[in-house]
Amino acid sequence: MSLHHVLPLKTMIGTAVALFVLTILTVAVYYIDFPDPLNTIVALGIATVKAALVCMFFMGLYWDTKFNTLVLLSSLLFFLIMIGIILLDTLFRDAPFQIYG
């Protein structure tokens, strides 16, 4: 969003409403029982959509230079690298021995 771009009021309010709806949705979904990993996936999916809405409209990435979006995405990439590789260790350690009782 450059200096000369005035934020559109309707979009802002629309974004807030959408965020509300999604929050209610995510709580509602919590009370529905999905098979195991699905629950987490749905909850995180909704959270990601919400975050994307905030970034695009409230934070103005939708109007901004694409480079700022790239900056943001790079942080996610490096977060994913960190957790991804650490899981390569933590999920694949040998089952501990039980020699000391």
Under the rule (CB under 8 A), what is the footprint of other proteins? Answer: 2-3, 6-7, 9, 12-13, 15-16, 19-20, 23, 26-27, 30, 33, 39-40, 43-44, 46-47, 50-51, 54-55, 58-59, 64-65, 67-68, 71-72, 74-76, 78-79, 81-83, 85-94, 96-97, 99-100
Find the shortest distance in angstroms from Cβ 90 to other proteins: 5
Find the shortest distance in angstroms from Cβ 58 to other proteins: 5
Find the shortest distance in angstroms from Cβ 89 to other proteins: 4
**Backbone φ, ψ for residue 94 (5° rounding):** -60, 145
Find the shortest distance in angstroms from Cβ 2 to other proteins: 7
Q: 40-74 burial, b if ≥16 CB within 10 A, otherwise e?
A: eebeeebeeebeebebbbeeebeeeeeeeeeeeee
The residues, any chain, with a CB within 8 Å of residue 33's CB and separated by 6 or more, are 39
Q: Quote the tokens at residue 45.
A: 């999916």
CB 46 within 8 Å of CB 22: yes
